[in-house]
């Protein structure tokens, strides 16, 4: 076993019901791999901070000091570590348990940065412009551009956006590809799999009324992104926002310094645009697509070639089989990704299946010609590749075997974790902030006394 510089780590444990159990399953897989690498773990339940339970936080802090972790890490996403905060100070800031109170280098793994991070740091986000709060960027920079935070990015496009916003410094970002996970490795796909499937989530709830100006803003951004005028949906949205007259932008509370902007951006990119892009791509497939997940085929806007064959499947125990049930599994990435990609295409190939996903620079860079062959550039290319690969199973197998060999060589979770820890250890020594400035007196009394001596 490789000797890692990190021997003890504090990790967050999300509630079992979050995101249909996927968050807890992912965290559990990462936790098991940390232990297999010889690292001792300390579990920090996120429930203790929602809302903050003073007594439980005091006990956790005392136990963490005794455990003496080398680092902390948010699992299954870094934003979960950002949730672990004390109640607000007089200036509205909330000290973070790991970075501010315990002064720990903390690894923050991104998903859909920056909107997913803002959803956690600024939450609960406002439902409308009238509920917006100012100074959102200051709050985000305080939490994210922190000398103890080490950002783990799987997407260089997201890294660009984070740096442009002042939410992360370039020398605090570790880049690695999305890893394959142990429950999906070494499996064999069933012989003779046929047809085309899709495994995933769609948000079909009706978009709440938000007014003509915001509806036009959303539709214009979506069209500009679809036309290729911008490198990402984030860029399309912010480009449209910046083109608004200043007085209208202020009236709509669409400055990036307003919390309503982040509420709008998160819902638009992660929920609305994901559903629209998935339904459009699946509808353009040219064949019947069997959908595993939560698709309501009776809802408005669902293409006629989509059929729902089963509901959600458990991530750890059901997803490997679901990703290999069909000859081709389609994936349509959430538009929160810019150059990176999610776990799904990697896990599908690792499990022995064949995944056809929309092309991103990161996937092609990591898997070369095979990665280009297993991705589509537009709807016409998608339909053509479905037709090609359904008729040539040997070619599917050849491409899949090439990608699986690369996964096994350099993209398993232990490989990626070792690279992250090596880089994070080198970055751990940034000068800490003064905790006396960050933590009010009442909070110090709560945190630093031994809860066993309380009466």
pLDDT band, very low/low/confident/very high, at 191 (cuts 50, 70, 90) = confident
HEC profile for 21-59? HHHHHHHHHHHHHHHHCCCEEEEEEHHHECCECHHHHHH
Q: Are 112 and 270 in contact (CB under 8 A)?
A: yes
- pLDDT at residue 186 greater than cutoff 90: no
- Same topology, domains 8-176+428-453 and 182-214+259-410? Answer is yes
Question: Which pLDDT value is given to residue 288?
Answer: 98
Least confident of 207-221, 326-340, 402-416, 437-451: 437-451
List the beta strands (DSSP E) in 205-252. Answer: none
- pLDDT at residue 442 greater than cutoff 60: no
Question: Which pLDDT value is given to residue 3?
Answer: 74
- pLDDT at residue 81 greater than cutoff 70: yes
Q: How many angstroms separate the CA atoms of 164 and 395, rounded?
A: 42
Any idea of the CA torsion for 360, 363, 369, 374, to the nearest 10 degrees?
Answer: -80
Q: How many angstroms separate the CA atoms of 252 and 383, rounded?
A: 40
User: pLDDT tens, 237-272?
Assistant: 999 999 999 999 999 999 999 999 999 999 999 999
Domain ranges of the chain: 8-176+428-453, 182-214+259-410
Question: Which pLDDT value is given to residue 430?
Answer: 56
Secondary element (H or E) of residue 226: helix 212-226
User: pLDDT tens, 135-157?
Assistant: 999 999 999 999 999 999 999 99
Match 């090439």 to its residue by tokens: 402
Q: How many angstroms separate the CA atoms of 280 and 269, rounded?
A: 15
Cross-strand pairs, 199 = 292
Q: Are 1 and 34 in contact (CB under 8 A)?
A: no
Cross-strand pairs, 175 = 153
Q: How many angstroms separate the CA atoms of 167 and 141, rounded?
A: 5
User: pLDDT tens, 403-439?
Assistant: 999 999 999 999 999 999 999 999 987 554 444 344 4
Structure tokens at 417: 């974790």
Question: Which pLDDT value is given to residue 311?
Answer: 84
Give pTM, 2 decimals: 0.91
Neighbour tally for 245: CB within 10 Å: 8
Residues 6+ apart with CB under 8 A from 322: 197, 199, 292, 310, 313
Q: How many angstroms separate the CA atoms of 145 and 383, rounded?
A: 43
User: pLDDT tens, 214-241?
Assistant: 999 999 999 999 988 999 999 999 999 9
Say how many residues make up the chain: 455
Please provide the CATH number assigned to the domain covering 8-176+428-453. 3.40.50
List the beta strands (DSSP E) in 95-137. Answer: 106-109
Q: How many angstroms separate the CA atoms of 67 and 408, rounded?
A: 34
User: pLDDT tens, 292-315?
Assistant: 999 999 998 999 999 999 888 999
Question: Which pLDDT value is given to residue 250?
Answer: 96
Options 3.40.50.720, 3.40.50.2300, 3.40.50.2000, 3.90.550.10; which CATH number does 182-214+259-410 get?
Answer: 3.40.50.2000
The predicted model gives 362-367 an average pLDDT of 97
Neighbour tally for 168: CB within 10 Å: 27
Could you give the 3-state DSSP secondary structure of residue 358?
Answer: strand
Cross-strand pairs, 150 = 107
Question: Which pLDDT value is given to residue 1?
Answer: 55
Average pLDDT, the chain: 91
Integer angstrom CA distances of residue 12 from 47, 148, 367, 422? 10, 17, 32, 21
């Amino acid at each position: 076993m490789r000797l890692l510089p990190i021997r003890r780590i504090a990790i967050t444990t999300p509630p079992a019901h979050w995101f249909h159990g996927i968050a807890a399953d992912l965290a559990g897989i990462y936790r098991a791999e940390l232990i297999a690498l010889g690292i001792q773990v300390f579990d920090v339940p996120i429930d203790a901070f929602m809302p903050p339970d003073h007594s439980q936080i005091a006990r956790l802090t005392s136990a963490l000091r005794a455990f003496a972790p080398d680092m902390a890490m948010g699992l299954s996403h870094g934003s979960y570590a950002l949730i672990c905060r004390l109640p607000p100070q007089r200036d509205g800031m909330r000290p973070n348990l790991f970075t501010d109170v315990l002064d720990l280098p903390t690894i923050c793994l991104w998903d859909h940065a920056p909107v997913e991070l803002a959803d956690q740091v600024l939450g609960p986000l406002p439902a409308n412009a009238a509920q917006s709060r100012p100074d959102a960027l200051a709050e985000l920079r305080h939490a994210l551009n922190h000398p103890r935070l080490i950002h783990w990015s799987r997407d260089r496009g997201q890294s660009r956006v984070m740096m442009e916003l002042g939410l992360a410094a370039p020398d605090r970002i570790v880049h690695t590809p999305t890893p394959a996970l142990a429950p999906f490795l070494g499996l064999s796909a069933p012989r003779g799999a046929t047809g085309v499937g899709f495994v995933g989530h769609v948000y079909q709830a009706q978009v709440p009324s938000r007014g003509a100006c915001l509806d036009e803003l959303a539709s214009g951004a979506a069209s500009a992104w679809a036309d290729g005028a911008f490198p990402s949906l984030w860029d399309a949205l912010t480009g449209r926002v910046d083109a608004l007259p200043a007085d209208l932008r202020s009236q709509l509370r669409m400055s990036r310094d307003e919390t309503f902007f982040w509420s709008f951006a998160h819902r638009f990119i992660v929920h609305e645009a994901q559903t629209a892009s998935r339904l459009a791509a699946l509808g353009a497939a040219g064949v019947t697509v069997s959908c595993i997940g939560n698709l309501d085929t009776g809802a408005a806007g669902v293409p006629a070639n989509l059929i729902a064959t089963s509901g959600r499947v458990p991530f750890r125990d059901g997803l490997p089989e679901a990703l290999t049930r069909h000859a081709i599994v389609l994936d349509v990435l959430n538009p929160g990704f810019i150059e990176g990609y999610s776990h799904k295409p990697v896990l599908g190939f690792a499990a022995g299946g064949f995944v056809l996903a929309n092309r991103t620079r990161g996937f092609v860079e990591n898997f070369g010609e095979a990665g280009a062959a297993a991705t589509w550039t537009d709807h016409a290319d998608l339909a053509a590749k479905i037709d090609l690969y359904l008729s040539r199973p040997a070619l599917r197998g050849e491409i899949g075997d090439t990608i699986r060999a690369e996964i096994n060589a350099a993209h398993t979770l232990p490989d990626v974790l070792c690279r992250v820890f090596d880089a994070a250890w080198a970055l751990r020594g940034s000068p800490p902030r003064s905790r006396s400035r960050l933590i009010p007196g009442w909070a110090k009394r709560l945190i630093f006394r031994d809860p066993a001596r309380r009466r």
